[in-house]
Chain A
Amino acid sequence: MDVIITGWALDSYLDLKHRKVFSKEEYKEQIRPDVLLLRNYPRDPKFTNDKFWSIATDRSGNKIAGGYKMKWHQMGSGRIQLRLSVGIFTDAFLCEAYVKNNDKEEKRKLAKFKARLQKIREGNYTENGRLS
């Protein structure tokens, strides 16, 4: 499975990196290796750990088709909860990395994620390369 970096993922990385939410070391030693596991999805056992990987649900608690969340806990000096929304189709689409601050904000993020998955299914999105 290819791991596609969407324009939404790039924008979110730009914002988080500029705000120093995570360090270069955390990216290279934790985040990137975890994201690269998607190349062999769903074979790695980490995908059965719901503290690391879970199905995304909308405001009503319904599953978002093709939508998943990769999760990191206690990340960065601020010890934040980092999330990465991922669309799984024939390829894995990295959608948006964000800090989980509260439930209301996450509901908004997931509503946008639902619309973005529709954009991916339509083929109307921006690709900023593939992780290899």
Chain B
Amino acid sequence: MNPKILEKKPESKSAVIDIGHKMNLEGLSEEFVIAAVRTALDYEGVHDLMVLWEEETDQNEKNEIVADIQEMIDECSQKEKVESVYVRFDDLDEIANDIRTFKDNLRHVVDEKGGIKTLSKLTGIPQPSLSRFFSSNAMPRRATLLKIARVLGLSEVQISTKWSR
């Protein structure tokens, strides 16, 4: 926990925990809520996202915020600097196409095994987050792929892609 955040905003901790309870009451998994609260206590930006979620009344927008929070839970778990390869602008299309093909194939397997709703229940990853995972052309996270593989009984080959983080 970053003590600086709590020193500045002593009310933050209880406020974030309250929002976590509300998230749980609205059907978000305990695993997600615990990770969200922990991350929000360390990162003010994630705290902001939780407050935005609480203030929001439109369900679609709330779903987007949930997907953002899950993204930040994953990103904030990175505990070191990673030096990765430089990608030329002219190669972006080819890489994005590879990622698209990989995610479409994986989505096909997921659909055969009950679809995103089932996958969400099994992994604890919120549905909006999984929907964004499959629709965006961003590089998939290895940790997410492993979670999916574990609950659906997929092999290493089925989750292998050279473009993952």
A interface residues, Cβ below 8 angstroms from B = 5, 7-8, 10-15, 17-19, 24, 27-28, 32, 58-59, 104-105, 107-108, 111-119, 123-130
Contact = CB atoms under 8 A, between A and B. Distances in A.
Candidate in A19, A117, A118 with the most chain B CB atoms within 10 angstroms: A118
B81 A111 contact: no
A interface SS class:
helix
Contacts of B137: 14-15, 18-19
Contacts of B44: 114-115, 118
Interface size band for B: 35 or more
Interface in B30-86: 43-46, 48-49, 51-52, 56, 61, 64-65, 68, 71-72, 75-76, 78-86
Contacts, number: 116
Interface in B2-51: 43-46, 48-49, 51
Contacts of B52: 59, 104, 107-108, 111
Interface stretch (B91-99, B106-114, B120-128, B149-157): B91-99
A104 to B, nearest CB: 6
